[in-house]
Amino acid sequence: MKSSIDYGNKFILAPMVRVGTLPMRLLALEYGADLVYTEEIIDWKLLRAERHENEVLGTIDYIDKTDGTVVFRTCPAERGKVILQIGTASVDRAVAVGRMMQNDVAAIDVNMGCPKDFSIKGGMGVALLYDRPRAKAILEALVESVSIPVTCKIRVMPDPDDTVQLAKELQSTGISAIGVHGRTKTERPRDPVNEDAILRVATALNIPVIANGGSQSITRRHDIVKFAQRCSTTSVMVARAAEWNCSIFRPDGPLPLDDVIRRYLELSVRYDNSPSNTKYCVQMMLRSLQESPIGRRLLDSQTMQQICDIWDLGDYCRETQLRYHFAGIKGRRACRPRTQSANGDTDETEPASSKKQCLEESQQTDMEPLNEENVCFIRSNFTDDNTLPKSKLYLHAVRNGLARAQYEVQQKDKLFRAVIRFDGQRYTSSFWEKNKRYAEQAAALVCLLKRGVESRDELIRNGAMLPAKNTTNCNDGEQNGVCETNGVRSVGVIVSDVIPAVAESC
């Protein structure tokens, strides 16, 4: 039995790349949005993801098997209100995604309006408007195959009559609603929105039409209503105006920007959002204020803790992440390049996507001892190139009359790990980095830690390591545990503060 959504008289958060992730969607719902769209997610990214129930966060996560990134995360608070927008040019892939995702989202929307080269060259986005047989085939197949509503979002054509004809053809596929952005393929946000073109579509169809593109005239909820009236629609989806200040959905008027940012950060910490995505969204809120003192602090930040400290939420961030860590969340630090089976074993049947293969077999026959720690490299911890771990290790070798360290980098899928040979031993981090340079620096940190040059306490404090789950005093650099000095517990940045993706498991 098919479910349904009433698309009439709705205030909607529009799909926005890198913005429409879980914290922003929840923020929009809190402030008065009725429905929220995800960012556009390409079909093949979803199809190579695995579904996991994240018991620590209370979320459903779809995890990219090749690098552990969270492709899509949802939670009960948005159930029945979150609409997945997909980028696709394939009937088969669209149907496969629809069937895979239909129990976790309220509806599926096909992006037929993105004007970016990436989409167009792949036959997606606005390219589908000029390939109507394919566009209709995708929508018809989805409507037939899934138990949830199907919609699409388009741009207007240069000729208004063509826009109306296109919308009628798409309506004939059985979709439940259609979003219309009032600009053409070549027009950009600085160009005026064609409200008359949206009006003509709205009056010609018998399914709900959702007006889009009016952010230039929207600063509060009342402006959204006025935009809908001018376009003869009852529903509006808002993108950039909501990106700048999501509280425009509030019936009582928008809130001060700092209040909105703080609430957004609270949700980002609560749902373990990636630091890079969080930082990007806050940058979009600050806009011209990026050159202010606060804006410059944000630009210099790399971890979630650093971002939260700017808005006096650092303690909340540390306490929440520490609680998640002790609850057993498996985050980015637990990610391995191979798919993890249900019992935690590595699935060696999963092919590596990289041409370079890991050299683990040769390592197993190497008689040199292997020293391993879960240490990641956070670039913002090092303000001077001379203090970088590789530089410090080089100076350590020179001062002690030792041969220089030799680095061997392994790659699997899209992840990297380095093994250092130094003074008759090997050193590596169990944290797989996202580029070769960071992998080498992380391995150097492990070597410095094991040789007593770096302090475990300091690495925990700056987020390069996690505290152990058992609480012990740690007065020297080689003890595990949460460090306590005079009864004060010192904890580092937990779970997701290093790489832009967090997975419940990989």
User: Which positions are annotated as active-site residues?
Assistant: 114
- Residue 232 Ramachandran class (φ > 0 left, ψ -120 to 50 alpha, else beta): left
Question: Strand 82-87 relative to strand 41-42: parallel, antiparallel, unpaired?
Answer: parallel
Instruction: Specify whether the CB–CB gap between 156 and 180 falls below 8 A.
Output: yes
Burial of 80 (0-12, 13-18, 19+ CB in 10 A): exposed
Asked if 482 and 472 touch (Cβ cutoff 8 Å), the reply is: yes
Q: Which of 259, 276, 277 is nearest to 313 (CA)?
A: 259
Beta strands in 290-414 (DSSP E): 370-373, 406-412
Query: Tokens standing for 113?
Result: 């309006």
DSSP for residue 82: E
Secondary structure class of 53 (helix, strand, coil): strand
- Using the structure block, give the residue that is written with the tokens 């990219």: 64
**Owner of token pair 């899509």:** 72
Instruction: Mark residue 486 as left, alpha or beta (left: phi above 0; alpha: psi -120 to 50; beta: remaining).
Output: left
**Rounded distance between C-alpha atoms, residue 176 and residue 328, angstroms:** 42
| Residue 361 buriedness (CB in 10 A; 0-12 / 13-18 / 19+) | exposed
Beta strands in 318-405 (DSSP E): 370-373
Answer yes or no: are the C-beta atoms of 255 and 30 closer than 8 Å: no
Closest CA to 418 of 389, 395, 397: 389
CA of 155: how far to CAs of 4, 138, 152, in Å? Answer: 24, 17, 10
Q: Which parts of 294-424 are beta strand (E)?
A: 370-373, 406-412, 415-422
Strand, coil or helix: 376: coil
488-490 and 483-485: which strand pairing? antiparallel
Supply φ then ψ for residue 80, to 5 degrees.
85, 0
